[in-house]
Chains A and B, each alone.
Chain A
Amino acid sequence: MEQALREEKALLLSGNQAAAYGAYLSRVQVIAAYPITPQTTIIETLADIMTKADWKHKFINVESEHSAMACCIGASMGGVRAYTATSAQGLALMHELLHWASGARLPIVLVNVNRAMAPGWSIWSDQNDSLSQRDTGWIQLYCESPQEVLDTVIQGFMVAEKVNVPVMVVEDAFILSHTSEVVELPDQAVIDRMLPPRAPAFRLDMEQPAAFGGLLGPEYYQEVRAKLHKAMEEAGRVLVNVDALWQKNFGRSYGIVEPYRCEDADLVLVTSGAISSTSKIVIDQLRRQGRKIGRLKIKLFRPFPFQEIQRLLGDVPKVAIIDRNCSYGHHGIFFQEIKSALYGSKKGDRPKLYGYILGLGGRDVTINTLRQVIDLTSERDEPDPETIWVK
């Protein structure tokens, strides 16, 4: 690693800097962005490193996140690779245009730093901002380390441009965005082979003038949306291939879900984002005590990995699902999703599902928090009808 650092093949990067380097290595052509804590260091880093870019590009400092996404949509319609980053209120402001980007089938990549929604003002981590955008037709990928953020941004463009669906790469506020670790930089020449310049299936073309996004009557609309749904399903398969290629070229991969010591587990903890790393330590501790406990990290949230969930959780007696989010009046959002995935399972004995909401507004999720979740699950033969809020 020291050698890699000396040769600048690896750098000490925060999640946000990694998000910027990922965009740089993807040779993005148009960046339109608006500052919001805790995303700011992504665009600051990009503004700096893009000055070294030897390809034509443009960085637009817009006046809102809404315009950031509008610019990305315009640029992507023009046929170039567009990128932006935001967080919380900014993502919510973009909401209308998130629908537009996916509806127009534009392969934009956006990094969202998970931050709690106001009021009261909070700049700290939780997932309600990105999960509120669940149904906008964006691929959603939750990361657990700066290295994964960097790799996933590039993978994101590879997937997006293959299926013409935009990609949202998600990282936890501060826990990832502002925490540095040594990140290996994939070789640019290899990336260039994996991710060649964008060759759009359609664009605003003077030689072939056409109207895009006009009035679409009831006789067409549904079929157009069905195509988006199909492309979304395809995206999962494409990501698996891209990730395999990553393994081949760089010796690391992530999977669309990542099981950890799940083989003989009678209790599996389901996590996403940075909590996934913490949970590994807990699992190791409990395994040393002889307890059969595993962990399943969900990286790909949209399209939802039904088959993997069914395969990996279908035979487990107890599943404890951690949600750093809440769908008020329902349950945690991952809880709902996993429940729906298992309900359709062919396996007769569905596991018992235990839902836990914790860590909202950036409250620390420590090893003790996770052990509490596991103990609460082990103690109860039957899950509570209501989700448990863990302090």
Chain B
Amino acid sequence: MALTTFTPKPNFDLLKVEDVSSPGHLACPGCGIMPAYRTALQVLGKNTIIVAPACCFAVVDGPFPYSAAGVPFMHCAFETAAASAAGVRAALEVLGRDDTNVVAWAGDGGTFDIGLQALSASAERNEDMIYVCYDNEAYMNTGIQRSSATPRMAWTTTTPQQAPKIEYKKDLGGIMAAHRIPYFATASLAHPEDMMAKFRKAKELRGFRMIHYFCPCPTGWKTDARYMVKLDRLAVQTKVFPLYEVFGGRRYVLNVASEGLPVSEYLKIQGRFSHLQPEDIKLIQQEVNDNYEELLAKVDHSNRQRSNDT
């Protein structure tokens, strides 16, 4: 099996970029939204329009009359990120501004839950946009309530410790791949070079592109702000959030091979998992292993398809 393995050597090219976003945003300490946004806009540049529904980002960008985005920023209703962005794209098309990046930037609630219908429709129509889901695995803006992106057994204010969430996290990658969109990729704050490469690819492609970004939320995950990057690194290393791409909904590429650390390493630094018993952790480990095996099988299948083609 051919895997691209991450080699942690410093890449100073990453620093030779121009910032579009500005300081002064309102994110909590340790929040992953702005580091990812900053990175994305370094790649996408100023010729970009942001469309954001109700979510932490809508607050983080700043209240009227402030904005840290550095580009036109359209707030939209909670469930309409993909539909609103499609409207913006239509206007640009009519006005002959095809070179502008239209970026919907939504949380997991606005993507996995309330915005899924509009998202599915825009993906099906292959609307020309980059849809970024920053997934902090719960409704954090309203104060940490369960979403369908919340992982199994996690505490939230609506899934208290004595009755934690027992359902699976929704498989966003699977859903989007089933729409056969040109590009889907997962991204992590611990791998900025990988994240930048993915935004670059997304920028170069046309049609519906999605980046699913695993967004650390120390406030909601009940952990220390200093763990922001570490949480994302551990999520990749423990296979909780593998880094991969899907081209055309069929061709899977694994970007960073997991080091196979036990999930307990990731779980134990987060208060939202502090109630877990050893058997719960075992269950989570099993689910993570199964998901990863399934992903490897898809990658393997893609590789065999490709070698058959050549």
Contact = CB atoms under 8 A, between A and B. Distances in A.
**Are both chains from one complex?**
yes
Interface of A: 29-30, 32, 56-58, 60-64, 66-67, 70-80, 82, 96-97, 100, 204-206, 209-217, 220
Given A67-B118, A78-B90, A204-B88, A209 B51 contact: no
A70 B114 CA distance: 14
Nearest to B118: A67
B80 A70 contact: yes
B94 A211 contact: no
A58 B91 CA distance: 8
Contact of B94 (A58, A70, A216, A220): A58
Interface of B: 46-49, 51, 58-59, 61-64, 66-67, 69-77, 79-80, 83-96, 100, 117-118, 120-121, 124-125
Given A60-B87, A77-B88, A78-B95, 18 more contacts: A29-B94, A30-B90, A62-B86, A62-B121, A71-B87, A71-B90, A74-B86, A74-B88, A78-B88, A78-B90, A79-B91, A80-B94, A211-B61, A214-B58, A215-B63, A215-B64, A216-B63, A217-B64
Nearest to A216: B64
A292 B62 CA distance: 64
B77 A70 contact: yes
Nearest to A208: B72
B91 to A, nearest CB: 2
Contact of B77 (A62, A78, A97, A205): A97
A29 B87 CA distance: 11
A80 B73 contact: no
Helix, strand, loop or mixed for chain B's interface?
A: mixed
B118 A63 contact: yes
A264 B92 CA distance: 57
B58 A77 contact: no
Contact of B84 (A73, A210, A211, A217): A73
Contacts of B83: 62, 66-67, 70-71, 74
A214 B61 contact: yes
A312 B67 CA distance: 51
Contact of A67 (B69, B73, B96, B121): B121
A80 B87 CA distance: 10
B58 A206 contact: no
Contacts, number: 161
A80 B84 contact: no
Contacts of B75: 211-214
A78 B92 contact: yes
Nearest to B75: A213
A120 B87 CA distance: 34
30 contacts: A29-B94, A32-B87, A56-B95, A60-B125, A62-B121, A63-B121, A64-B118, A66-B118, A70-B76, A71-B84, A74-B74, A74-B86, A75-B90, A77-B87, A78-B94, A96-B77, A204-B49, A204-B91, A206-B46, A206-B71, A206-B100, A209-B71, A210-B67, A210-B73, A211-B61, A211-B75, A213-B76, A214-B61, A214-B73, A214-B75
A215 B52 CA distance: 12
Nearest to A78: B91
Nearest to A212: B74
A210 B72 contact: yes
B90 A74 contact: yes
Contacts of A75: 87-88, 90-91, 94
Contacts of B48: 206
Nearest to B78: A96
Contacts of B117: 63-64, 67
Q: What are the 3 tightest A-B residue pairs by CB atom distance, in nearest-first order?
A: A74-B87, A78-B91, A213-B75
Contacts of A67: 80, 83, 86, 117-118, 121
A56 B72 contact: no
A207 to B, nearest CB: 9
Contacts of A206: 46-49, 71-72, 100
Nearest to B46: A206
Contact of B72 (A29, A66, A209): A209
A80 B95 contact: yes
A32 B226 CA distance: 46
Nearest to B72: A204
B94 A30 contact: yes
Best-surrounded residue of A57, A62, A82, A206 (most CB of chain B within 10 A): A206
A97 B84 CA distance: 11
Contacts of B74: 74, 77, 204, 211-213
B66 to A, nearest CB: 8
Contacts of B73: 209-212, 214
A47 to B, nearest CB: 15
Contacts of B95: 56, 78-80
Nearest to A204: B72
Nearest to A58: B90
A208 to B, nearest CB: 8
A75 B67 CA distance: 21
Nearest to B84: A74
Nearest to A96: B77
Contacts of A215: 58-59, 62-64
A57 B93 CA distance: 8
Contacts of A78: 87-88, 90-92, 94-95
Nearest to B26: A215
Given A209-B73, A214-B67, A217-B63, A60 B120 contact: no
Nearest to A215: B63
B63 to A, nearest CB: 4
Nearest to A71: B87
B77 A82 contact: no
B61 A66 contact: no
Contacts of B66: 211
A30 B83 CA distance: 13
